[in-house]
Every structure is written in structure tokens, then in C-alpha cells.
A and B are shown apart, each in its own frame.
Chain A
């Protein structure tokens, strides 16, 4: 009997992947185009909203260093960077060059790339080289933190729901709430202070200057892990409470449902009921939230990253927005937008996998 159910389930999934999913994915991918187009317009115009442009910001910065610029300098710079064109023309040029820069362009000959994300004024080089520089580290660091979050919060949630109102439930709830209630940046400062007090080193930044010079190797990997402690605790705990609370609540619902009672009455082992049926249903909302995860992998925890001097993408975006370095900011936000769109698709697919009741082709079944 059980064997049969299993087969039916698998067949359903296989069938789903064969028929529905392919057409579904194609449809969704086609939808990306208008979505991203709209987002790009929004991004470009919103970035341009604050008064002034990069040139004014740049001249202000020069002036603060005691350097004076003459009257024509600003006008010349604007002409060079194309900032004197009407905004819609700037936008068209921006998008056109990102999508396809022809082989006979000066850009292609210099960089050998068909996608010209333009020039970061503040860094004085190609935008993509700036984004790339921190990409690996950003994804690495945030992935570790994210995994930590799920590894900690899911078991706690299951434990808390199966031991409702036990001391363990209360203790984990309190810790989770504290993690959420204390603003990340304050928590980070407190931990840095404690670290300085106890070890004499505040552990500012992910790397020691030595690592920044020689790179991370086996001999200094321990130091790197030490530096990861504060970010993991700060960013990790901030998300865990949310996950714990929602999964716990869902679990409590599921545990009280009739199918659980039936299964229990039939003598199915308790851990099978919890893990195979209830848990799978309970993480449904968590999985649908995964859509944003990809994007936050790319540029999450900006404020915390700034407080902790972490060398990841968030602070770069912040600085770019501040300095009105619009192509750099635009590139980061656009990449984030793409990741959100893709992330939502992936989470939708994952949901279908988790919960056979969710299908996309509508009607029928």
C-alpha cells in the first residue's frame, strides 16, 4: 500500500516536470523581458531623482580636499560623460550598450566584452570590474550566513513546536526575539566592543590587513573564521527569529490537523509524521520567501556590513548612490532585480516540488 502511494507521488512529479514545468518556465522567462524593462526604467530614473549629478558631487569632493575647479570644468565633464543629454537619451544609450555593444565599438576593442555597463565615475574604471571584484566574496559570505540561519532556525522551530510551552521553547523564543529586536548595527557594535574588551582586538572587517595583502591561505584561515564570528552572529540571528516563529506556528497548525491525527491513529511513527508530513507543509511559506534570498545574497545586510566594515557589495551600492555614481548604482540594482526575478521563479518551482497541491497549469486536476 505504502509502496503504491510513493510511486504515485513520484509519477506525479515526473509528469509535472515533463508537461507543465517546461512551458511554465518558458512563459515565465518571456515575462522577464517586460518586467526587467520596466524595472530598468524605474531604476534609471529613480537614481537620477536627487538634485545634482555625479559631477556636482565630484566637484564638492574636490573642493573638500582643497582643490578648486574653474568654471568650464563641470560643463566639460558633463559633456564627456554624456550627462548633458536629456535623461531619456541617456537611458536609451545605457540600455543599448548593456544589451549589446557591437564588435566594432571602441569599448569592445578595449575590453573584449559585448556588454558595456559603462563607467564608474568614482572608481574611475569599468563598472563591471568594480561589481566583479566583490562578487565572489559577497556571495560566499552571505551564503555562509544564510546557511547558518537555516541550520539553526529550522531544528529550533521543529523542537519548539513539538515541545510547545516547554522551557526549551521559551529559551529559544527569547533568544530568537532578542536577535530580531536588537537592531543589527547596535548588536554589531556591542559585539565589537566585547571583542575588544576581551581579546584586545575589535575584529573590524572580514580580513586582517595581512590577508588583504597575501590572500587567504590555510595558515591564516583560522583568523578569517575568527573574523566571521561577529557577522554570522549578528546577521544570522536577525533572520532566525522570523523563520523560527513562522515555521513553529505552521507546525503547530499542521500537527493539529486531521491527517496528522489519522496518521497517528494508524500507528505511523511520530518522527515520520513530523518530518515527512507536517514539516514539509510547514516550510511552505519559508520556501516561497526564498525568492528574495538570491538578491540579498548579492547585496544584503548593507547597514551591518557598513558597521562591521565588511568588504561586500552593499556598502559599494550605498556609496555609489551617495556619490551619484549612477552607472555603478544602476548596475548593482539591475543585477539585484534580475536575481529577484530569477529567485522568485526558483522558489515557485521549489514550492511545486514540496507541495503536490500546487500546480501551475490551472484547473483540470
Chain B
């Protein structure tokens, strides 16, 4: 009960904040929001913090006076031995330092102790090392507010055409070199605009002028100030809040001999390096970076830079250079403390507290639990059905922490609206068919069978506390009624065949083939749902494919229906990602080839019609609207269309992610929000975690 209330509080806060006025624009706006959220959820009063004052260090609810700095014993030893500069010379002064006093949920942080390592499971993905370590331009709280992080402040002019970033003087890269405006111009002109990082597609730094897409103009004002200039207004949602725009820097001093001439784009700051592709690969090799092509090199060294040992970063932890521990595919991959990290705690202790993060690989699911129990991992993610046994066995040695979900329900079914078979396309387009599919299932029973009753019956709709939450939507078409479902199916033109299953009007067989992908857990749900569909006269089948084969079928528009998980529909808000709300990406399940149409500028795919087209229309309006309130109103219109159409049906409410955390880890937050905009686990302030002695 306590848990669910807290969850409500956190998610409520996210919602309020996202719908509410923009954080980070002015002090009064920020104050308003905090008051609003406090009324909504009194338990999280402490979320006052992070006023998002743009010209001050972020965490200054009560100004923290950091008189002197102290450092980890291991660094003090190096200072004493003369191999490292003193801490005062390594990190910014009082006016430029980042003082961390509370976690993303607003809970005050306790002062920790130095030393020890934190052991984490290494999932092996490209982002696994980034979640605990990446420092981005801004940082979010669970309430949706945000504040400058790596940069000291940001501001914009009155018409939003010029954005200014101010940097922290005295801040250094992890190898001790100064971090200055040059690192930003270098990244922009030598890594990004020329697509060396393969991410020139980021929308945050581009705008459409006339028919053409053009990049912003970046100007270095002085060593610690840069400006981004646009010809049209660039609103926060499309710039500072854009989830892709996480960083805008690269270590010029380290990467300048790794930029091939073939990628050079004329600019006022840097001349062509004149290096051939082969020379660049050899230079990279000399630095221990083994890449097959310059394209791979660019992507790895300037986009996935945290995965490459030797590249200086601004993160709290940097990849070890110890052979055997320096690659994310190593069985033990180590990220070590950055001696130049620019954050301190309220007492002036340089962060991070722990000496290193150890990423440990396993080859099978469940091994992480054994290793956690053996004390070789400090926290693990667990499925709901494992929670009780671990808590019972390990008692007060562990605690349960939660990442609340922003998903729209679980056990979702979505249909291919751009099916090439007209019989199916017409049937799926009929709302009554979707209603029949929804009401022919007894959600109470399904909850018991699939989640041991953990997940309550629900629908594909924003869950309580989220933006657009609507109790009517959440219960729409959830009443179990087989007879009504059959009536609806007949109303759709289906005819009962002699085998007891419905056929199309032309006599051809109707089979609802549900695609799932291996390891998604969806194939477990199929037998349960199948019996309900059969009872309603729907013949169904399943196709469980390896995920890449699954994606190929979706991309080729060669599928009938999908039993989730699949590419998201809905989520935190349009600010987080647009594609889950509007059909604008390459074929995703809930909008099929309609998305391809938008993504390819009409060259491929199927032109959306009706309400799908209306979504795209509203999205274009949303993008072009400067006033926050108006944009939020458009957001709600988009939600209304979703509620009306129910393109995806869900049977149960969304599932949170849970972690079991060893209690000797200090400052681990109990409740956060799981979302891409927040970079998932990045919300944990890893630098402030410590191991109690």
C-alpha cells in the first residue's frame, strides 16, 4: 500500500511537471511548479530542490557553503606522490562547482564514505555503461523538472532564436585537460554537422528554412560561452528538452587526429585535417581504438565514446585501460573514478565516493540472482515473481526499489492497419472489431494467470498519475462480455463458419496470427489469450520469431497482429519521444507502414488517412507552437484521438521495474521513473552512491 501511494506520488509529479509550464526558464516558473506538485502529493515535499535557476549551480534550495574540498584517499596518495595535481586545481572553484545535495526524487543525500566498488550486471548493450556514468547537458528529476548539469547555465533570447550555454570555468576532462568552448565547436563542426558521429539526424540542432533543413550556427563567444543561433524560433521542447540532445562536446585535444578529410565540412573554426581514412584508422589503432571503417570509428569515438577506453570524458567514471577490463564485452569491465570529476557533496568531498564500478557479465538469466545472493553484485533488476522469494531469504540485508513505468498497459495487442490483404485491413480498421477483441477477454482471470495478480486489469491508456490519465479511458472496453463481442464481430461482416470459427464475408478463413518475439515473454501469454479468442469464435495462431526476424517482418509489412511487448505506443509525453504518439517513424507496430510514409517523405509506405492523418497534422501544429499551454492543449487533443481509436488493446496495467539493492549501498533512491527521456538508470546519481563500511 505504501508502495503504491509513493508510486502515485512520483508519477503524479511527472505528470504535473510535464503538462505544466516549462521548467528552467525563470525562477518564478520553477517555484510555481514546485508548489503545484506539493499540493498534489504532500509526501514528496522534499522535491522542492533543483529550482532550475539557470544562472546558478543547480541544487541550491539551501545554499551549501563548500569552503574546502577533500578527496578520496587513493587520489590523496597520488597527490602526495606528485603524480596528480591537488584537488583545488583539478576541479572548478566554489562558483563553478556542482554541489549535489539530493537525489532525483528530492530525497536529501547523506554524506558517504570513500572507497569500495559497486558491482553491477553488464547487460552487454551499447548503453549499459552509459546509464550509470553519462553526464548530459541537463538532468531531470522524477517530477519532470530539469536543471543544467555539465553546463553551468543556459538562457535564450526573447524570441527563442539564440540560445546561450555557459560552461563551468576550471572544469577538466578526465585526463586533466581543460574543458572549454573549443570542445563544443570541435564536436559540432568536426563530429556532428559532418555526420562523423552518424547522428546528424538529431532534430535539436536543425531547423527547416524554406524547403531546406539547415543546421544552427554555433558561435564561440569566449572560452566558456557559446551561442546557438537559429533563423526561426527554437523552442525548448525541440532543443534543450529534446531527448537526443544529451551532449554537445568532444575532447578536441584527443580526437583531432582522428577526423578524416573525407568527412570535412567547411567551417570557420577548423581546417581540414588532410588525413586519409587509412591514416585515421592507423592513428586510432595507435591509441588502442580498433575499428574496421572510419564510419565505425566516428560512431564509436564520438557517439558511443563511453565504450572506448582511453577517450577522455566528463563522466564520474571512465573506462579502465587495464587489458581484460577495458571493453564492455569483457567478463569484468571496469569503470574507474574520474580524478577530475566536477561534482562535490555538501561537505565539499569530491565525488564519486566509490573507487570504481564493476560491470559483470553473465551468460544466462537468473545467474545475476545467484551472484547477488553470493554478494558478487550489489543490485539487480528482478521480475515481479522473484521479489518475494529474495526478500524472504535475504531479509533486512536488502531493500526493494522501484522504477515506475510510463507505459500504456501491458499484454498489448496491435493490428496491422496497413495489411496488404484487404479483408484484414478493412476488419482491423473497424473499431468494433478492436472492441470485440478487448471485451472477449476476462481481465481478472488473465491477471491471475499471467501476473499472479500483481498487475491489475487495465487498458492501453496512460496509467494513473501520468499526463492524460483518464479513468474512463483506462476502463474503456474492459467489461468482459463474450456475447457482445460475437455480436460486434458479426456486425463487422464476419460469418460463423461450420467449424465454429468466424470467416470473412467472402468465405475465406479468418485467422488472427499474433506475432511475438523470442524472450519477450509474450509467447507465455498466447495460450491464455487464445482460449478467450477461441471462445469468441476467433481462430488464432502465433508466430514466435527471433527479434531480428520479427523486425524484418514488421519492416516488410508482412504481419497480421502483434502481441506485445513491441515498439511503444504512448509513454511519458510527446516531449520524451514523439513516435510513440504519432506515426512518424519507420514502420512501428501500432501504425505499420503509415510511419514509413512520413519517415521517407512519402517515398515509401502508405499515406495515413482519417484519424492517423489527423495525428500527424496535430503534431506539425505542436512543433510550430511556441506557447507552452497551447502545446499542452494539442498534446491532449492527440491523446483524445488515441482514446477514441484504441489502436492498441492492452489487458493489464503497466508493469514497473524493480531492483533489489543491498542495504550497504547508501543513497540509492527508492522510487524513480523509468523513461527514455530520463535515460532510465541514469536517474540514479551513481557518483553519490557509497558502500557503507
Contact = CB atoms under 8 A, between A and B. Distances in A.
Given A61-B125, A62-B126, A124-B291, A196 B549 contact: no
A57 B334 CA distance: 27
A126 B281 CA distance: 13
Interface residues of A, number: 55
B358 A196 contact: no
B360 A324 contact: no
Interface string B623-667: 000000000000000000000000000000000000000000000
B256 interface: no
B126 A207 contact: no
Contacts of B291: 124-125
A339 to B, nearest CB: 23
Contacts of A80: 293, 295-296
Contacts of A322: 546
A110 B324 contact: no
Contacts of A65: 125-127
A202 B374 contact: yes
Given A57-B548, A205-B331, A70 B126 contact: no
Contact of A106 (B198, B278, B325): B278
Q: Which of A66, A69, A106, A204 has the most CB of B within 10 A?
A: A204
A306 B363 contact: yes
B322 A204 contact: no
A106 B548 contact: no
Contacts of A310: 363
A192 interface: yes
Interface in B125-145: 125-127
B325 A70 contact: no
Given A80-B293, A106-B281, A56 B552 contact: yes
A362 interface: no
B453 interface: no
Given A106-B281, A309-B362, A213 B374 contact: no
A140 B360 CA distance: 22
Interface string A53-68: 1001101111111111
Contacts of B201: 70
Interface stretch (B227-235, B266-274, B365-373): B365-373
B332 interface: yes
A60 B548 contact: yes
B585 A52 contact: no
Contacts of B548: 51-53, 56-57, 59-60, 324
A61 B127 CA distance: 11
B608 to A, nearest CB: 17
Given A63-B567, A202-B370, A309 B363 contact: yes
B547 A57 contact: yes
Contacts of B332: 207, 209, 212-213
B375 interface: yes
Interface size class of B (residues with CB under 8 A): 35 or more
Contact of A125 (B198, B290, B370, B577): B290
Contacts of B376: 204, 208-209
Given A204-B374, A209-B119, A213-B334, A71 B360 contact: no
A311 B362 contact: no
Given A124-B291, A200-B374, A52 B300 contact: no
B586 A71 contact: yes
A196 B546 contact: no
Contacts of A307: 363-364
A109 B283 CA distance: 12
B552 A51 contact: yes
Interface in A72-131: 73, 76, 80, 106, 109-110, 119, 122-126, 129
Given A73-B198, A200-B375, A201-B375, 12 more contacts: A51-B548, A68-B579, A106-B278, A110-B278, A123-B327, A126-B290, A196-B373, A200-B374, A204-B367, A306-B364, A307-B363, A309-B363
Interface of B: 119, 125-127, 198, 201, 278, 281-282, 285, 290-293, 295-296, 300, 322, 324-325, 327, 329-332, 334, 358, 360-364, 367, 370-371, 373-376, 546-552, 555, 567, 577, 579, 585-586, 596, 599-600, 604, 676, 680
Q: Nearest 5 A-B pairs (CB), nearest first?
A: A212-B332, A57-B548, A202-B370, A56-B548, A52-B548
